[in-house]
Amino acid sequence: MNTSDCSQQSEDFQRIEKAIQFIEQNFKSQPSLDQMAQSVHLSKYHFDRLFKRWAGISPIQFMQFMTLDYTKKRLVESKSLLETAMDAGLSGTGRLHDLFVTFEAMTPGEFKKQGSGLQISYGVCDSPFGECLLATTQRGICYFGFVASGERSETFGQLFDTWPDSEFIENPTAVCSIVNHIFRINHQKSAHPFNLQVKGTNFQINVWKALLNIPKGCVVSYQDIASYIGHPKAFRAVANAIAVNPVAYLIPCHRVIAKSGKIHQYRWGSARKKALIGWEAVRSA
């Protein structure tokens, strides 16, 4: 996926996100294609074309991945897949889009320094899910988050608050090449891993490592993750750890949903979480 592809998909996502929000607000009435299109000020023909360009399928087909019947079924199916991954001892590295994600936590000494002496390059880029902010050190990606409309300062604040004593250097060219690589559809020819450098408590680190084992296109519950890290009753603490995940998509916290099958509670918006789950479901079908 090149820069122009990302820019087009980012632009398309602005309307798709609004359409998903409209569906969230009117889910009881099961909006028609006409109503979805009207909510983003397009004809149903233009909306259908835009959606297929972004997702690869029609909006009606895409929304089927958002139904409770579908998510409940996927919760049951995904649980056994996650068990297999955990039993295989993959908690150190995870497969994502045929690439490895390597995970490095800061040492207690580095944690205390609050990033002092650390040089961080960062930039805002386009992605298939709107604007995103990515930051990286010499050792790997230390932050990756999506930028909600009109909330750039809040997103920057999340990065700067995580690494308060670091030196920040704006370098969008270098950073955007990483983002383009993350969302490239065909990764088979690349053997380079995505290296992550994160900061968190031991419990948070264990939760984030567990998330790496959730296969693409699958969803699991907070209770499932709690069980697989050996703390079956700590699902609320697991939810809190997931809520502060500093690396979106690569640490796939969007693949964790309520055991009821509902898709909500996402740091970067429930509509984006639904878009991520549906987008991956299409590509893994």
Active site residue ranges = 253
99 with 194: CB under 8 angstroms? yes
Half-sphere exposure of 34 (CA within 13 A, CB side): 0
Q: What is the C-alpha separation between 81 and 216, in angstroms, rounded?
A: 11
20 with 275: CB under 8 angstroms? yes
* Residue 266: C-alpha distances to residues 98, 239, 250 (Å): 25, 10, 15
Nearest to 269 by CA among 148, 158, 129: 148
Residue identified by tokens 């309307």 is 15
DSSP string of 188-217, one letter each residue: TT----EEEEE---HHHHHHHHHHTTSPTT
What is the radius of gyration, based on Cα positions, of the chain?
19
125 with 6: CB under 8 angstroms? yes
DSSP string of 62-73, one letter each residue: HHGGGSHHHHHH
Work out the number of other CB atoms within 10 angstroms of the CB of residue 250.
21
